[in-house]
Amino acid sequence: MTLTSPGVLIERRTGSTGLPAVPAFNVVGLEYVEAFVGAAEELQAPLILQLSQNAVAYRGGLRPFAAAVLAAATAATVPIAVQLDHAEDVGLVREAADAGFTSVMFDASRMDFDENVEQTRAIADELRAQGIWVEAELGEIGGKAGAHALGVRTDPQEAALFVERTGVDGLAVAVGSSHAMRTREAVLDLGLIAALRDAVSVPLVLHGASGVSDERVAEATHAGIRKVNFGTRFNIEFTAALRAALAEYEGVDPRTYLNSARSALTADARRLLALFS
């Protein structure tokens, strides 16, 4: 199936049954890709696969692993988008565009507002001319602490101005979640999500969804979130399954224990995709 973009998937979700949002799953290795694509095909559920700048660094470069992710997404029987996530390196953004990614999240949220606008607008102009869906991030005024520390909030008026000035297609907002949480205790500001939805003309993105309970994810999408990013919860599942498998296995065939870890990812991906569809 042809690769698609988050924008197309989000538009299709609007008005359908299930949550009015599309999940995005971060991949670290091929087992993740196989598990996520397999679960999406099984449930015939749309999905966004994300490769972060950190994951690219771990793999030692973009191309070889990205080629595998793009091939798996293209071969899938459901529409899948492939996004470069949390990219701060403009060179990497361009490489992803050349490689065939359908979307990019350019993350200048550490900059102050004006610098974030300037850098994001320049890259958004370039990517949109190539038909690539562009997500950016805006946290607190000044943004020095990063947008996704607990307690940081995106201001609706500032968000509206940011979207207008940059022309981005999606906006990651700080509404109470935080990256890399290992418990699902984050409390989201639903009133702020609704205010952001009313103020901003493009889809809102929730990052750090691993720290949010399924029930709160559902509430957030009903309040206005349209794309939900999950990463850490899969790493937790993968690691736990791997530990358990290795504790019982004395052999040396990685396929044995990696298969257990991959199955754990498939089961969790299935659970999440069912929540959305």
Residues noted as catalytic: 85
For the chain, how big is the Rg over CA atoms in Å? 18
Question: What's the angle, vertex CA 145, arms to CA 140 and CA 146, rounded to 5?
Answer: 70
Pick between residue 4 and residue 52 the one whose CB is nearest to ligand G3H. Answer: 52
86 counts as binding ligand G3H under rule CB under 6 A: yes
Q: Closest separation between CB of residue 208 and Zn ion, Å?
A: 6
Where does this chain touch ligand G3H (CB under 6 A) — which range of 62-70, 124-132, 179-187, 243-251?
A: 179-187
Q: Closest separation between CB of residue 137 and Zn ion, Å?
A: 8
- Contact (CB, 8 A) for 269 and 35: yes
Pick between residue 113 and residue 230 the one whose CB is nearest to Zn ion. Answer: 230
187 counts as binding ligand G3H under rule CB under 6 A: no
Report the distance separating Cα 225 and Cα 173, nearest Å: 9
State whether residue 12 is helix, strand or coil: helix
Helix axes 156-166, 190-199, angle to 10 degrees: 40
Where does this chain touch ligand G3H (CB under 6 A) — which range of 38-46, 215-223, 229-237, 253-261?
A: 229-237
Where does this chain touch ligand G3H (CB under 6 A) — which range of 111-119, 123-131, 177-185, 191-199?
A: 177-185
Report the distance separating Cα 32 and Cα 79, nearest Å: 17
Pick between residue 164 and residue 215 the one whose CB is nearest to ligand G3H. Answer: 215
213 counts as binding ligand G3H under rule CB under 6 A: no
First-to-last alpha carbon distance for the chain, in angstroms, is 19
216 counts as binding ligand G3H under rule CB under 6 A: no
**Local structure of residue 171 (DSSP, 8 states):** E
Q: Which residues make Cβ contacts (< 8 Å) with residue 253, sequence separation at least 6?
A: none
Q: Closest separation between CB of residue 210 and ligand G3H, Å?
A: 3
When binding is defined by CB under 6 A, the residue of 188, 221, 231, 273 that contacts ligand G3H is 231
- Contact (CB, 8 A) for 36 and 269: yes
207 counts as binding Zn ion under rule CB under 5 A: yes
227 counts as binding Zn ion under rule CB under 5 A: no
Buried b or exposed e, range 25-50, using 16+ CB within 10 angstroms = bbbbbebbbbbbbbbbbebebbbbbb
When binding is defined by CB under 6 A, the residue of 229, 260, 266, 277 that contacts ligand G3H is 229
Measured CA to CA in angstroms, residue 41 lies from 209, 240, 272 at distances of 22, 25, 13
Residues of this chain that interact with ligand G3H (CB under 6 A) are: 26, 85-86, 179-181, 207-211, 229-233
Residues of this chain that interact with Zn ion (CB under 5 A) are: 207
